[in-house]
Chains A and B, each alone.
Chain A
Amino acid sequence: MEVPAFLALAIRLGAEQGCHFSAEELKDLIRDERRSWLGDWV
């Protein structure tokens, strides 16, 4: 799944559950997770 489609779906599904977040917040999360995956190393 492409990132823009994922962001749109996550925002819509979140809103349906009463959880409101922005595309920017999700992009920050994606950035943090990428750093985390690459950084978790022995």
Chain B
Amino acid sequence: MSLTPDDARLEGWIPARIHVDGEVPRVDWCHLGDKRFTDPFFDETLERRLRNPFALLFRHQTSLETLVARRTARPGLPVRGLVFHMSRCGSTLLAQLLAAVPRHIVLSEASPVDVALRLHLRLRHVTDEQRIEWLRAVVAALGQRRNPEEEGVFLKLDAWHVLELPLLQRAFPGVPWLFLYRDPVEVMASHQKHRGAHMLPGVLEPARVGLDAGRLSELSIEEYGARVLARLCEAGLRAYRERQGPARLLNYHQLQDSAVSQLVDLFKLEPTASEHALLTTAAARDAKNPVLPFEDDTQDKARTVSDTSRAMAQRWIRDVYDSLEAERLRDAAAPVGPSTPRASDG
């Protein structure tokens, strides 16, 4: 069955997977209906939906060109905010806060967004303009209004997408963004317990994180991870210094007291009283396991981190963390406010 870009048969369906068949990208569409993205991660919502046998057994498949063309007829809801982070620093809490408001569609580390950003590694002669087009098309299709109250889209990106922050700003100009970070020893402690994909050598392009592919085997897994995290923080800091629109640096330790107010202020959320209650309730929960209350694990992290992880955090990440903190505190003290863009900043 051939589907045209504006085909009504794709209403209620989302581009769930993008894969390359030979040299040709293909898009698999999953029927989501009016289900909201309320799970901590996009893939969890998808997996939950695939427990339904209809959604599992029936899928549409289109070309990437069809997905791109569909955006013209169905541009989706406006993108209202971007959340970047260094990983293991509270970004899932921010996503869960945003998702607590039914007006919001929150795409939390959505795999089709990641694929759109990495597809050029599998295909030849891809320009940044094409990548931006793909990204906008994926977000437009995921950000369709499937419930009448939905008004805007927020992207909580994968940690490594901060390396693509300039491209994302070009794709969504003027959209406010934040970069969330945490004390590097605590982040390393979290990865020591269960490593994120980007902390494993070979998952990210070595050159992308400033490493020599031929020398990866000489690095301990802790040193590799620390250098990746440092590169992510450097990218966040650089993008903040060069920002052209509203942006904010946010430290994990600010979340417990002011996560809601930070989001409300930066993203101009204007919550109603009932939405404010939803935000407050979500803030009190453990983001990755919402049936549990939130608990600050700073002390636990400090106690369990290995000497090697601590040393690597100090050696590779501490300086850029201190620079992020200095920048954040300086702008927080400035009378113009921390989210105001600067015309030029080296």
Contacts and interface: CB of A to CB of B under 8 A. Distances in A.
A37 B50 contact: yes
Interface in A1-42: 1, 3, 6-7, 29-30, 33-34, 37, 40-42
Nearest to B112: A42
> Which of B30, B52, B57, B122 has the most CB atoms of chain A within a 10 A radius of its CB?
B57
Contacts of A3: 53
B142 interface: no
A42 B118 CA distance: 8
A40 B54 CA distance: 18
A4 to B, nearest CB: 10
A27 to B, nearest CB: 10
A30 B30 CA distance: 15
Contacts of A6: 53-54
Contacts of A7: 53
> Which of B16, B56, B119 has the most CB atoms of chain A within a 10 A radius of its CB?
B56
A29 B59 CA distance: 13
Nearest to A27: B53
A41 B111 CA distance: 9
Interface stretch (B17-25, B69-77, B91-99, B232-240): B17-25
A33 to B, nearest CB: 5
Contacts of B118: 42
Nearest to B61: A40
Report the contact-size class of chain B (Cβ under 8 Å from the partner).
10 to 19
Interface of A: 1, 3, 6-7, 29-30, 33-34, 37, 40-42
Contacts of B119: 42
Interface in B20-37: 20, 28, 30
Contact of A34 (B28, B56, B115): B56
Interface string B56-82: 110100000000000000000000000
B53 A30 contact: yes
Contacts of B53: 1, 3, 6-7, 30
Q: Which 3 A-B pairs have the closest CB atoms?
A: A6-B53, A40-B19, A40-B17
A24 to B, nearest CB: 15
A27 B30 CA distance: 19
A20 to B, nearest CB: 18
Contact of A41 (B19, B30, B54): B19
A1 B54 contact: yes
A6 B53 CA distance: 7
Interface string B111-155: 100010011001000000000000000000000000000000000
Contacts of B28: 37, 40
A7 B50 CA distance: 15
Contacts of B115: 42
Nearest to B111: A41
Nearest to B28: A40
Given A37-B50, A40-B28, A30 B57 contact: yes
12 contacts: A1-B54, A33-B56, A33-B57, A37-B28, A37-B50, A37-B56, A40-B17, A40-B19, A41-B111, A42-B18, A42-B119, A42-B122
Contact of B17 (A1, A29, A30, A37): A37
Contact of A29 (B18, B57, B122): B57
B20 A42 contact: yes
A34 B50 contact: yes
